[in-house]
Amino acid sequence: MGQLSANLFAGRADQLRRPAVAPVECGAVSRLIIMSNRVSAPKARSGSASQGGLAVAMSSALRESGGIWFGWSGEVTDTFTGRMNISRDAGVTTATVDLEPQDIDEYYNGYANRTLWPLFHYRIDLAEFDRSFGAGYERVNQRLASTALPLIEPDDLIWVQDYHLIPLGDQLRQMGVTNRIGFFLHTPWPPHRLLTALPYHRRLVESMLAYDLIGFQTDDWLESFHHYVECEMDGKVDADGIVTVGDRVVRTGAFPIGIDASEIDDMVTSHDAIEAQRTIRDSAKGKKVIIGVDRLDYTKGLVQRFEGYGHFLDEHPDWQHRAFLLQIAPASRGAVHTYEDIRAELDGVSGRINGHFAQVDWVPIRYVNQSYPRAGLAGLFRGADVALITPLIDGMNLVAKEYVAAQDPEDPGVLILSKFAGAALQMTDALLVNPYSKDAISDALATALAMPLDERKRRWRALMAGVSNDNVHRWREDYLAALGGRTPIAQ
């Protein structure tokens, strides 16, 4: 497979061995190779595309450091060949490969999204354990490693992203790659006992020991990983995060991901953002706007959010007709039946609340199943009085940070945030709530909507200081410094 990929790649190797932009030196390392499940090619105008948090973070990192972003193209091919699609845009080189339908069914829709995703988000009741899923997951990781092999030069740093590609580092090691390889998990890491429900859980974790550095979003997920290693693998964890299992020594640490706050600041002055802000304010007609922006996913607590909002309208009838909830929830992973279920449930809950409370000139919930360009979202954030971000559990949640960055310093909105989002550990000046509690959501909405300007400014300034300081550039620099072995990892 590696030879096949190398032959197909012949003629382009020299082209890709030089980064598209001058790299930032990282010790002796001249280039960064990022590997993720999907590659979202960056646009010259950052506000023109709708990109998720990982895509934005990866694009920002590669613009600064140079190198290559490698992964699945999102496209389907009848027969896997290992042929790469190479492109350069906005200072970033991407290399992608197409997968077969069986690969997508077993690796992506199967093991990644029907086994690991629910398990890592504590929804073992939704996790599906199918032998073919695991086989497809290992096969695709081996195929990706073989395809990427010709891209790798001796001094490159390799940074593997997220739960789709956990075994990729081990596959590269088996193919003779001796570069420093790091792994970063963007989701939570489940508690020890929960993870043992996964068939072959030990083999999955053993494959992680091939990395030089394993990064998590928060200390909570890091400690869960350490607990598993100690209990299941008789491993040793030092105070500085060094994990030793047998003769394998791996660094571990917590690296909270951030956003590019300056990019959001630029966006809110763009034409698209100004138009979006004007549209939402004009349509509000003086009413308070509560906004939620989430992928349509059972981890986001959308049903509980709607129920809490309905409870708020019951408890505070004076706010009826004076506020509304705009929930943007683009559909995702349509091939996984649990996502069809959550959409149907949300349709029912929103219809019931609107049917109960709506008046001729007021609908309490505006529920939208489409995505928006990032600049448009920034404008909607700036035009909203309250952000209601209440996931049941989240690795981080960058939407909360983007909302804060988009606010008008002279008239900022209020962030209501789930205490179970990774971002809650950094954003303590938000109104932190238990997303399972209708009463907690109702009380937080009442507080947010009535909050005086002085308190809104005080909370926003504290939140914005954190968003600006703990940004995507610091995340990248801290992680890569630790991967290069040049700095200790703060615990």
**Active centre residues (catalytic):** 186, 394
Distance CA 400, CA 18 (A): 37
Contact 204, 112 (CB under 8 A): no
Q: Are strands 68-76 and 84-89 parallel, antiparallel or unpaired?
A: unpaired
Angle, helix 53-65 to helix 472-483, in steps of 10 degrees? 60
Give the residue carrying structure tokens 């091919």: 77
Total count of residues recorded for the chain: 491
| Cβ atoms within 10 Å, residue 441 | 28
Q: Is 289 helix (H, G, I), strand (E, B) or coil?
A: strand
Burial 169-179 (b: 16+ CB within 10 A, else e): bbbbbeeebeb
Distance CA 384, CA 326 (A): 9
Burial 187-215 (b: 16+ CB within 10 A, else e): bbbbebebbeebeebeebbbbbbbbbbbb
Q: Are strands 248-254 and 242-245 parallel, antiparallel or unpaired?
A: antiparallel
Quote the Cα angle for 336-346-413, to 5°.
115
